[in-house]
Amino acid sequence: MIQWVTPDGKLTKQGLQHWSKFSSDEKREWLRFMILTRQFDRRAILLQRQGRIGTYAPLEGQEAAQIGSSMALHSEDWVFPSYREHGVALKVGMPISQVFLYWMGRVEGCKPPEGVRLMPPTVPIATQIPQAVGAAWASKLRKETFVSVVYFGDGATSEGDFHEGLNFSGVFKLPVIFFCQNNGYAISVPFSRQSASATIAERAKAYQIPGVLVDGNDVFAVRGVMEEAINRARNGDGPTLIEAVTYRKGSHTTADDATRYRPSDEVKEWIEERDPVERWKTCLLHEGFISLEEVESWTHYCDEQVDHGIKEAEASTPALATHLFEHVYHQVSRKLLRQKTECETREIPWLN
């Protein structure tokens, strides 16, 4: 498993070799986005408890995997997320308020700002994988340089869509990066029950594509392997499967109780000894790239951003019933027009 920073924040030999590849500004930026992601996530859980948003899928513990990978993307690249990629969404340009709107049950939260190539969250597991392959195919057919990145979990690798997507990408040699966050569990089911293979990365071999196993709580290593995969893709050398080994610190969603199925000493170890934000913070502090005061003021600033996002989301015009009929088709049918009138007037029209 590739690791450039140890859990206690020290550079490994490979880490030292790659250290100068990225500027100090970039390295600080990774930490800032990880902090933003964490503050967003913690607030979202609180909002759910207060009934201000619906059931929410927390990501704490997976910040390095999400930020390390998305930091490597260009604005022309396509992103196909699952439902847990809030960090990725924020990084690629989704406003905080939009992400909140989604979890407030508003379809407006599915739509990114103009120019942001981020698909809506994917709820049916693994279905986004072949779609991302198609986007990469478009890049190849048009002889463009954009790549396509798809995010999914360890559980998703059991679905047929995962295998079909990998197979297509190998056959057509497409510029797609399969980014799997292996957080050890699919809701309650541990990876050992998901597959008899020791790793997910090794599945790549059967499709003749590179497979990379990386410490997903090491933002530096994730950023590095993602860079290499993207370069391969942009240079016409085809797809890569990356398995980022990580852990979700909390429950699957706010409706789940992870204490039912996860041993407490395992959880404790990941929280206390392998936290991705602490690891990178310690490393940067040690290397003299940041100060504790800076981290504190960043955290404060992120909190303000999140506050602002909540205010904006909560101040948005309430959803109207007639929105139900918008965008179903490009042109509204007679049938739907009739039903829209029914909805507006609250009258049953067909008996008149």
Partner 1 sequence: MAQLTMVQAICDALQVALEEMPEVLLLGEDIGKNGGVFRATDGLWEQFGDERVIDTPLAEAGIIGSSIGLAVNGFKPVAEVQFLTFIYPAFEQIISHVARLHTRTQGAFPNSIVIRAPYGGGIRAPELHSDSTETFFVHTPGLKVVVPSTPSDAKGLLLAAIKQPDPVIFLEPMKLYRAFKEDVPTGWYEIPLGSARLVQTGTDVTILAWGAMVPVAIQGASECGKSGISCEVIDLRTLDPVDEETIIQSVTKTGRVVIVQEAPRTLGLASELMAMIQEQAFYSLEAPMVRITSYDVPVPMYALEDEFRPTADKVAQAVYKVVQEGGK
Ligand X SMILES: Cc1ncc(C[n+]2csc(CCOP(=O)(O)OP(=O)(O)O)c2C)c(N)n1
Catalytic residue numbers, as ranges? 248, 252, 261
- How far is it, in rounded angstroms, from Cα 258 to Cα 250? 7
Is 125 one of the binding residues for ligand X (CB under 6 A)?
yes
Listed ranges 90-98, 103-111, 205-213, 217-225: which one lies at the site for partner 1 (CB under 8 A): 103-111
Q: Judge whether 227 and 76 are in contact, CB under 8 Å.
A: no
| Residue 37 contacts residue 90 (beta carbons within 8 Å) | yes
Q: Is 183 in the site for Mg ion (CB under 5 A)?
A: yes
Q: Where are the beta strands (DSSP E) in the chain?
A: 78-80, 148-153, 176-182, 185-186, 189-190, 211-215, 240-245
What does 260 interact with, of partner 1, ligand X, Mg ion, none (CB < 5 to 8 A by kind)?
partner 1
Q: Is 96 in the site for ligand X (CB under 6 A)?
A: no
Is 339 a binding residue for partner 1 by CB under 8 A? The answer is: yes
**Gap between the Cα atoms of 50 and 135, Å rounded:** 39
Q: With contacts defined by CB under 6 A, how many residues of the chain interact with ligand X?
A: 14
**Contacting Mg ion (CB under 5 A), which of 15, 112, 130, 153?**
153
Among 46, 110, 187, 321, binds ligand X (CB under 6 A): 187
Does 183 bind ligand X (CB under 6 A)? Our answer is yes
Instruction: Compute CA distances 239 → 38, 158, 225, whole Å.
Output: 30, 19, 13
Check: CB of residue 307 under 8 Å from CB of residue 96.
no
- Measured in residues, the chain has a length of 352
How far is 41 from 199, CA to CA, in rounded Å?
Answer: 28
Nearer to ligand X, 214 or 295 (CB): 214
124 is a site residue for ligand X (CB under 6 A): yes
With H, G, I as helix, E, B as strand and everything else as coil, classify residue 191.
helix
What's the alpha-carbon Rg for the chain, to the nearest Å? 21
One of 188, 208, 231, 235 touching partner 1 (CB under 8 A) = 188
User: Which residues sit at the interface with partner 1, rule CB under 8 A?
Assistant: 54-55, 57, 83, 102, 104-107, 121, 123-125, 155-156, 158-161, 186-189, 193-195, 253, 255-256, 260-261, 319, 321, 323-325, 328, 335-336, 339, 342-343, 346-348, 350-351
User: Which residues sit at the interface with ligand X, rule CB under 6 A?
Assistant: 84, 123-125, 152-156, 183, 185-187, 252
